[in-house]
Amino acid sequence: MIKSIEIDENLENYISNNSYDLHPVQKEIIKHNNSLGEIKKMQISVTQAYFMQLLIKSKNLKKILEIGTFTGYSALSMALAVKDDGFITCVDKNKNTSDIAKTFFKKAKIDNKINLIVGSALEQLNILSERSEKFDLIFIDADKENYIKYYDMSYKLLTKDGLIIIDNVLWKGDVANYNKIDRMTNIIRDFNTYVKNDSKVEKYILPIGDGVTVCRKI
């Protein structure tokens, strides 16, 4: 069996140096996040952003919802990939990081393509649902305790053939280490089992970043 290689920071840098160039503001966000210490881990990896950009471009996904934006790296990356008629709606409860993200969106001149709503994701998903909004891609990257709720609500907001991408599903690899029985690892395991048993979607767990599940609404 072929073993996947481990992507450390060096390799991640090599990948970005040998893929297409990052937008200057993507580089600025990475620099900003690196200055924040441990919390920088909130940001998705460069490789993961490339993957999502490729999906958006190749499937011409237009309406995108992001749950959990932090300082804006994933949202900016997606906004750079959508065509002119594409639009990203983001929700994050943290006003401070959202203000920083908005500054970066403006700097990249893509603020006309992104609406970042500051508020509780559950509340905002309910509002979007009441308005019968539909999305081609929903990216879930907020509090893991609510992942199952976000997943169920996202399914209802998804166009047919639309995609849900969920971050951190391999939880540093701990999900497969049965000596790890802490609360967060179990929450992610329960979530993965929940998605596995959902016959309404096709799903693939990919070992990118901290592990992503891609679900396609059948």
Residues between 91 and 110 with contacts to ligand SAM, criterion CB under 6 A: 91-94, 97
Residue 33 CB, nearest approach to ligand SAM (Å): 7
By C-alpha distance, which of 39, 34, 70, 64 is closest to 52?
A: 64
Strands 87-92 and 114-118, bridge-based pairing:
parallel
Q: Which stretch binds ligand SAM (CB under 6 A): 10-18, 52-60, 88-96, 108-116?
A: 88-96
- Does residue 53 interact with ligand SAM by CB under 6 A? no
Our CA dihedral for 15, 20, 22, 23, rounded to 10 degrees, sits at -170
Residue 44 CB, nearest approach to ligand SAM (Å): 4
Question: Which residue of the chain is nearest ligand SAM when measured via CB?
Answer: 68
Residue 57 CB, nearest approach to ligand SAM (Å): 18
What is the layout of strands, in order, in the sheet containing 114-118?
114-118, 87-92, 63-67, 135-140, 158-167, 212-217, 201-206
| Residue 85 or 130 having the CB closest to ligand SAM | 130
| Residue 19 or 161 having the CB closest to ligand SAM | 19
Among 7, 55, 134, 143, binds ligand SAM (CB under 6 A): 143
By C-alpha distance, which of 50, 25, 15, 30 is closest to 114?
A: 25
Helix, strand, coil in percent for the chain, rounding step 5: 50, 20, 30
- Does residue 12 interact with ligand SAM by CB under 6 A? no
Contact residues toward ligand SAM (CB under 6 A) are 42-44, 68-71, 73-74, 91-94, 97, 120-121, 141-143
